[in-house]
Each structure stands twice: as structure tokens, then as C-alpha cells.
């Protein structure tokens, strides 16, 4: 898989984002209502990438800067958003490759922790994040009071050596 930085406004990003919204509709009955703007993912305050296989967009994800707030977010945080792999490309490790790429980029941008919100009806996502060292944190954001919401985080300080070793 080739990973390209595209930005969230790119047509391929918009198509994959629409696909993931439909996945949420199937699983939860509605799309994600969290406010997202394309410029949230523009460097240096964010990053959005697409994974291509044989020239076709098969995966996407990004992060955006988050700062200290009343929900327990901290200065130095970055929030993962719109992690998605098309159904035909699942089971090939693309989400893990994409996640590690985003972690490395967040470290390079000076971010100290990645946080995310997922849900109980996405057990494959929860399993991926747990296997990559993410642990539950205090709920934040639009769905913080929703019973199906799970928020997770991973400290990036000290993770640099692990990510470099895994890349070798």
C-alpha cells in the first residue's frame, strides 16, 4: 500500500469519508455528527492520508490537533479521525500500517499523545487500538455521554523507539 498525504478536501478523501459515514449508519443508525472541517487536517495542525493499492484508494485516516479542555484532553494531544479501510481490502494489515504512519507523523509534529473516539459496535477497531497500546481514557467530544462511545489514548513520548524498531 502506498500512503499519500492528500488533505481531507481531496476527492478520494471525501469519497472514503462518505463511505465510513455509511458504515456508521449501518452500525449505529446515524453518521458521525462530530464537526470536521477540511482545514482541521492541514499541517501543522493536522494531517490526512490515503492508502492506495494498485492506484485505488483503499484506506484513510488523519489526525488533528487538540488542546487542553474540561474533558481531560491535554496540550500536545492529537485526535485520530476517519480511520477506514474499504471492505474489499480488510484483513491485510492496512489499518495497522496507516495507524503507525499517523503516529510517526504526529511525533514528528511534536504531538505527545494520540486520542480517539470509537464505539462498542466496532470491535475490530477497538482490538486494533488495544493491540497497538491504546487504553481507555476519559470520554471527550460530541459522544462523551453516549453509552456506546469508547475513548482511547496512547502516549507518544517514548513511543518513538518502538515505532522506529517496528519500521525496520
- Over residues 89-114, the pLDDT tens digits come to 999 999 999 999 999 999 999 999 99
Q: Which residues, in sequence order, are bridge partners of residue 62?
A: 48, 81
- Over residues 12-66, the pLDDT tens digits come to 999 999 999 999 999 999 999 999 999 999 999 999 999 999 999 999 999 999 9
* pTM, two decimal places: 0.91
Here the CATH number for the domain that contains residue 123 is 3.40.630.30
> Under the phi-then-psi rule, with left for phi > 0, alpha for psi from -120 to 50, and beta for the rest, what region is 75?
beta
Percent of the chain residues topping a pLDDT of 70: 94
Residue owning grid cell 477506514: 84
Please tell me the total count of domains within the chain. Answer: 1
Instruction: Please give the Cα distance from 163 to 139 (Å, whole number).
Output: 26
When pLDDT is cut at 50, 70 and 90, the band that residue 67 belongs to is confident
User: What domain range includes position 88?
Assistant: 2-167
What is the predicted pLDDT for the residue at 159?
A: 57
**Average per-residue pLDDT for the chain:** 93
Closest CA relative to residue 26, chosen from 152, 115, 150, 119:
119
Amino acid at each position: 500500500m502506498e500512503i499519500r498525504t492528500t488533505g481531507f478536501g481531496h476527492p478520494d478523501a471525501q469519497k472514503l469519508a462518505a463511505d465510513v459515514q455509511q458504515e456508521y449508519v449501518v452500525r449505529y443508525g446515524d453518521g458521525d455528527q462530530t464537526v470536521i472541517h477540511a482545514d482541521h487536517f492541514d499541517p501543522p495542525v493536522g494531517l490526512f492520508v490515503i492508502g492506495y493499492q494498485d492506484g485505488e484508494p483503499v484506506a484513510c485516516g488523519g489526525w488533528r490537533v487538540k488542546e487542553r479542555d474540561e474533558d481531560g484532553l491535554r496540550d500536545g494531544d492529537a485526535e485520530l479521525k476517519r480511520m477506514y479501510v474499504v471492505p474489499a481490502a480488510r484483513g491485510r494489515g492496512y489499518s495497522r500500517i496507516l495507524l503507525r504512519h499517523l503516529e510517526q507523523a504526529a511525533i514528528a509534529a511534536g504531538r505527545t499523545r494520540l486520542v480517539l473516539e470509537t464505539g462498542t459496535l466496532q470491535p475490530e477497531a477497538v482490538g486494533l487500538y488495544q493491540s497497538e497500546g491504546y487504553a481507555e481514557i476519559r470520554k471527550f467530544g460530541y459522544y462523551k455521554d453516549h453509552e456506546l462511545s469508547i475513548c482511547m489514548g496512547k502516549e507518544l513520548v517514548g513511543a518513538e523507539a518502538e515505532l522506529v524498531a517496528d519500521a525496520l
